[in-house]
Structure 1
Amino acid sequence: MSIAKPWIANYPPETAPSLEYPRVPLTYFLEESAATYPDSTAIYFMGKRITYRELLLLSYSFANALIKRGVKKGDRVAIMLPNTPQTVISYYGALFAGATVVMTNPLYTERELIHQLTDSGAETIITLDLLYSRVSSIRSSTPLKRLIVTSIGDYLPFMKKLLYPMVQKKQGQNPQVAYGGDVESFQALIDEQDPEVVYSSINPEEDIALLQYTGGTTGVAKGVMLTHANLIANAIQCQAVLYKLVKGKERILGVLPLFHVYGMTTVMNKGISIAAEIILVPKYEVKEIFSMIDKRKPTLFPGAPTMYIALINHPDLQKHDLSSIEACVSGSAPLPIEVKNKFEELTKGKLVEGYGLTEASPVTHSNPIWGKGITGSVGLPWPDTDCRIMDMATGEELPQGEIGELAVCGPQVMKGYWNRPEETAAVLKDGWLFTGDMGYMDEQGYFYIVDRKKDMIIAGGFNIYPREVEEVLFEHPAIQEAAVIGVPDAYRGETVKAFIVFKEGQTAGEEELEAHCRQRLAAYKIPRQYEFRSTLPKTIVGKVLRRQLQDEDQKRREEATDDIKTS
């Protein structure tokens, strides 16, 4: 059975249902923008401006430096940086060299780093001086052969650059980097190398531009193989949906981390494809965001609901003018209607909800920005993106209005999981990506997600997989059993709650458990709530019933709310 595509009738006239995708490497966007808008600002970072001509030359220099050090086509190069110019230079430089980029979260602990670097086989990493000790401590447990280290101060304006060491000292930061041999300075690397044009033979449909790690649908961190063609397609689809954006004229607020595929596509790749000014913000702090909006007047602000919530609830809100913002696409978590309405009222721009997943580069759906959007829906499939709702029992396509698993097909869908053919086969079937998300389509072709991938928790836009947190809790000597679920949180969307059963005669307090987790997990994965129990609900074969725990927790919260109302 095949259902027609009712969503196409709801596309704005300016958005074509099918698009042209140039057969080029991802670096094409940077070369084109540098040729057409050489003197336009590509990156604005804390007062420092880098033009498109400069960005291209810096990327060439870095590519040549990598090649000189033996990096070959297909080698994996890890980038472990916050939102800084070096992130963009490293990303495009590695691609010019023909390498595959492995974006690495700077919040990762040693345990998480070892897994990703070992699994990817990355031999080169670009990281921050503040992160050097963490990376060097796990080096012997990974394939790493060379460390390239940079500092926030490297790309600050002249006076700020001079003052930065004093700021670091005042904040108690005194990074000790043992330069020499295979530990090199990013800046020295750039300075030593001529910015000669780099030619790498790339097959866009086959060659992997990016290994982006995700828990996928099973919770084990896997490298999603995204080709140059995948990432080119998603950027071009993005432009077709945001059709009012003008090349060489836009300013994008780069708050979403570039190490996350959502920020990488909607801020960096998308921004460079239209020669936009990318306003890089290394850390989300509301006052800093207000300052950037005041100074640079961004026109586009991709983000997550927590970011918009923090702005509209800040006491200084009325002191700032947000009216430059014309469009925002919210992803990573459901967008509350009151947040959408309040933000649109303040900016007079549009804030719409979208949907995607790492395996699709990542965006597959969004509400029309300048057309008919439906609150509560993740919107319409993007051009050239086909969607079906599948019956999980029969594998048949379901009719409109019925709930099943969302499957998507399009040019942005991944090549597969890195070195995991069985897991690839489980989610990629005849070109269709089975997302693991439950949803339905209405008569007009708008899609709705009713439940997230199995038990995945989304807190502040970050994906958290219960199994990983549970394994860390199990390492505590007093814990016999642990189960982790997501519970509602007014600010983060969801937060982590852990159910603990102690070994007989043993116990531990919440502070001790938090300290235990903090050594092994990134901060956003640490449980914020604990419940201590004598048993956990299980199936007949001993599998913990997380769904039952969620139901029990929700019932208690509803009863507590009723008690408050009646008191």
Structure 2
Amino acid sequence: MTQPTLSRPWLGRYEAGVPRSFTPSGLTLPALLERTASKYPDRVALTFLGANTTYRQLWQDAGRFASALQKMGVQPGDRVSIMLPNMPQFVVAFYGALLAGAVAVNTSPMYTATELEHQLKDSGSETLVIMDAFYPRYAEIQGRVPVKRVLVAGIQDALPFPKNLLYPVKARKEGTWVAVPYGERVLSMKKVVASQAPTPQPVSVSAQDVALLQYTGGTTGVPKGAMLTHANLVANCEQARGWMTDLREGHEITLAAIPFFHVYGMTVAMNLSILIGATIALVPNARDIKMVLSQISASGATLFPGVPTLYNAINNHPDTPKHDLTSIRACISGSAPLLLETARKFKEITGGANLVEGYGLTEASPITHTNPIFGNQKEGSIGLPMPGVDAVVVGDDGQPVPAGEVGELWVAGPMVMKGYWQRPDETAKTLREAFGQTWLMTGDMATADDQGYFRIVDRKKDLIIAGGFNIYPREVEEVLMSHPAVLEAAAVGLPDAYRGESVHAVVALKPGQNATEAEIIAHCKAVLSPYKVPRSVEFRSELPKTAAMKILRRQLAQEARDAQSGAKSA
């Protein structure tokens, strides 16, 4: 079969200044930080609740952390799990681990002990960097995971005087203080970093080496680690740099509220900021909208990457009018569909900030498409492929479909992952050689118009997105099924004005058994992260199934949405 010539009409729609061709630098992430630290040594790299860290200090602290890991026996290729919110220690641990030649493993602070156990085992992490407040979750599982050493970081360790002294007092009064049992295998990250020289033993790290395991349900819904290389991650922030034509190197201030443990936050809020020498204003808890607002006005943030839920929360918060948000110039919204009204209102309250919708997925480091920042933004569109990204909509026969027709979106480029960690079969289902390139099959159904603007018409099968977080029904269903009264269960997404979607559980009980909605939800709360817990439960005598006895999730989802619409209109 003759391979078709792929057209790239989007190149003609790029704004002035956006490169039509793209060649990645080939840098590793530590080299990226070293270059910026050399160029802007005295520029503030991190600002955190009144404490500032310059690029020189950040580079040195990363070196000290790398030295500490090497003395503890961490070898190149070993996995280092990082379970921290957005705080200075996250950036130090991430870049320090990479300097030592290790592979970072992003670990959500929202994980329950059960979820943490799975990821530590699957990744084979022998080192865990964790916030002191989260330590009890690790303590539950410590005898069942491969972790040999734990480095504990505290908010108070990053605060300026006298906040560093007042924070523990406040935490004790509020009952949130955790007494960590420090010892030979449980160490203070602050003390470890302070005791080392900023010159680790040099290790040979290639841009093609894996830098990060980013766990995702992927396109098949099975939790697994996407292997993202240095080249993948650096290329993606360079692609974003090319797209944002008005960035001023050494002058921008990024509001980092979207968490770094989310690959979108890592690429746009952290790595892109370091690439351009921006100051990163760290927000440890994006749900604290008062803190987000105060950090925007206090820092004079100019860039604000986020998710629709966050922008919507700011739009509707009673304290928003009290804060000056006019410093913000540009925002790219990712992780979930952006409502037009959200963008309009946000532009109004910021005095003109451009909030545009983009698209990506973990396996692509993650950004592949974005609407032009200042150019033609098509409503309901995910925009154009970024520089260096190839995209095609493919039919069931594996061939490109005509403009306007629906097919599966495939993407290719230097940001596409190496594969899934220790899952070659899953990798083979997701990466395909075609048209002379390696393509990532997104599992999303899409259309592309004749100008190169893409639209997602149907998300990955059964995926629920709540507040920008991916929720795979199977994980929720397994917890539902573990309830002693539940016979069968399904989890579906319902429209939610605030989160985008919320989880709705449909269950059938065993004969003679009883359970209430409150009991089912409480059962889920004990095992699942808060955003995965069902907000509503529907009881049925039985669930609809195919002839092969597969539960018809999509039918249940549609029926639940119809019932929700009917209740609203009644």
Query: TM-score band, normalised by the shorter chain?
Result: over 0.9
Tell me the distance in 1 between the aligned counterparts of 2:157 and 2:323.
30
Tell me the distance in 2 between the aligned counterparts of 1:244 and 1:434.
32
1:35 aligns with 2:38: yes
Equivalenced residues, count: 561
Which residue among 97, 102, 105 is the counterpart of 1:102?
Answer: 105
Alignment partner, residue 212 of structure 2 = 210
1:322-341, aligned counterparts within 5 Å?
A: 322-341=325-344
Give the residue type in structure 1 aligned to 2:409.
L
The DSSP-based 3-state class of the residue aligned with 2:162 is helix
523-532 vs 127-136, which moves further: 127-136
Which residue among 394, 410, 420 is the counterpart of 2:413?
Answer: 410
1:357 aligns with 2:340: no
Alignment partner, residue 167 of structure 1 = 170
Tell me the distance in 2 between the aligned counterparts of 1:13 and 1:134.
51
CA deviation after TM superposition for structure 1 residue 289, in Å: 1.3
Tell me the distance in 1 between the aligned counterparts of 2:439 and 2:10.
18
Tell me the distance in 2 between the aligned counterparts of 1:558 and 1:144.
49
Give the residue type in structure 1 aligned to 2:474.
R
431-440 vs 23-32, which moves further: 23-32
Give the residue type in structure 2 aligned to 1:377.
S
Give the residue type in structure 1 aligned to 2:463.
M
The DSSP-based 3-state class of the residue aligned with 1:27 is helix
2:369/2:385 contact within 8 Å kept? yes
Q: Give per-residue Cα distances to partners, 1:116-154, cap 9 Å, x unaligned.
A: 111110000000111112112212111111111111100
1:167-566, aligned counterparts within 5 Å?
A: 167-196=170-199, 198-205=201-208, 207-284=209-286, 285-347=288-350, 348-391=352-395, 393-430=396-433, 431-561=438-568, 563-564=569-570
Q: Give per-residue Cα distances to partners, 1:443-492, cap 9 Å, x unaligned.
A: 11000001111111000011100000000000000000000100100000
Alignment partner, residue 78 of structure 1 = 81
CA separation of 1:173 and 1:551: change in aligned 2, threshold 3 A: closer
1:75/1:122 contact within 8 Å kept? yes
Q: Give per-residue Cα distances to partners, 1:76-102, cap 9 Å, x unaligned.
A: 000000111000000000000000000
Give the residue type in structure 1 aligned to 2:369.
H
1:78/1:101 contact within 8 Å kept? yes
2:520/2:537 contact within 8 Å kept? no
The DSSP-based 3-state class of the residue aligned with 1:54 is helix
415-424 vs 340-349, which moves further: 340-349
Tell me the distance in 1 between the aligned counterparts of 2:247 and 2:178.
42
Tell me the distance in 2 between the aligned counterparts of 1:176 and 1:356.
40
2:302/2:327 contact within 8 Å kept? yes
The DSSP-based 3-state class of the residue aligned with 2:523 is helix
2:40/2:277 contact within 8 Å kept? yes
CA deviation after TM superposition for structure 1 residue 345, in Å: 1.7
1:60/1:198 contact within 8 Å kept? no
Alignment partner, residue 44 of structure 1 = 47
1:2/1:397 contact within 8 Å kept? no
1:96/1:198 contact within 8 Å kept? no
The DSSP-based 3-state class of the residue aligned with 1:158 is coil
Give the residue type in structure 1 aligned to 2:460.
K
CA deviation after TM superposition for structure 1 residue 197, in Å: 5.3
1:352/1:366 contact within 8 Å kept? yes
CA deviation after TM superposition for structure 1 residue 23, in Å: 2.2
The DSSP-based 3-state class of the residue aligned with 2:544 is coil
Give the residue type in structure 2 aligned to 1:283.
N
CA deviation after TM superposition for structure 1 residue 281, in Å: 0.3
The DSSP-based 3-state class of the residue aligned with 2:207 is coil
2:23/2:388 contact within 8 Å kept? no
Tell me the distance in 2 between the aligned counterparts of 1:150 and 1:560.
48
Alignment partner, residue 55 of structure 1 = 58
1:84/1:280 contact within 8 Å kept? yes
166-175 vs 535-544, which moves further: 166-175
1:499/1:530 contact within 8 Å kept? yes
Give the residue type in structure 1 aligned to 2:356.
V
Give the residue type in structure 2 aligned to 1:498.
A
1:111 aligns with 2:114: yes
CA deviation after TM superposition for structure 1 residue 2, in Å: 3.5
CA deviation after TM superposition for structure 1 residue 317, in Å: 2.2
Q: Which runs of 5+ in 1 are unaligned?
A: none
1:407/1:434 contact within 8 Å kept? yes
The DSSP-based 3-state class of the residue aligned with 2:441 is strand
CA deviation after TM superposition for structure 1 residue 24, in Å: 2.2
The DSSP-based 3-state class of the residue aligned with 1:18 is coil
CA deviation after TM superposition for structure 1 residue 157, in Å: 0.5
Give the residue type in structure 2 aligned to 1:245.
L
Tell me the distance in 1 between the aligned counterparts of 2:398 and 2:135.
49
2:121/2:146 contact within 8 Å kept? yes
CA deviation after TM superposition for structure 1 residue 370, in Å: 1.6
The DSSP-based 3-state class of the residue aligned with 2:465 is strand
Tell me the distance in 1 between the aligned counterparts of 2:378 and 2:137.
45
CA deviation after TM superposition for structure 1 residue 225, in Å: 0.2
1:61/1:196 contact within 8 Å kept? yes
Tell me the distance in 1 between the aligned counterparts of 2:388 and 2:22.
7
Tell me the distance in 2 between the aligned counterparts of 1:237 and 1:444.
20
Tell me the distance in 1 between the aligned counterparts of 2:532 and 2:281.
28
Give the residue type in structure 2 aligned to 1:55.
L
The DSSP-based 3-state class of the residue aligned with 1:338 is helix
1:152 aligns with 2:155: yes
1:496/1:527 contact within 8 Å kept? yes
TM-score (norm 1): 0.98
The DSSP-based 3-state class of the residue aligned with 1:470 is helix
Give the residue type in structure 2 aligned to 1:453.
K
2:495/2:561 contact within 8 Å kept? no
2:492/2:553 contact within 8 Å kept? yes
Tell me the distance in 2 between the aligned counterparts of 1:272 and 1:18.
23
505-514 vs 266-275, which moves further: 505-514
Q: Which runs of 5+ in 2 are unaligned?
A: none
Tell me the distance in 1 between the aligned counterparts of 2:97 and 2:564.
50
Tell me the distance in 2 between the aligned counterparts of 1:161 and 1:457.
40
Q: Give per-residue Cα distances to partners, 1:366-393, cap 9 Å, x unaligned.
A: 00102111111000001110011111x3
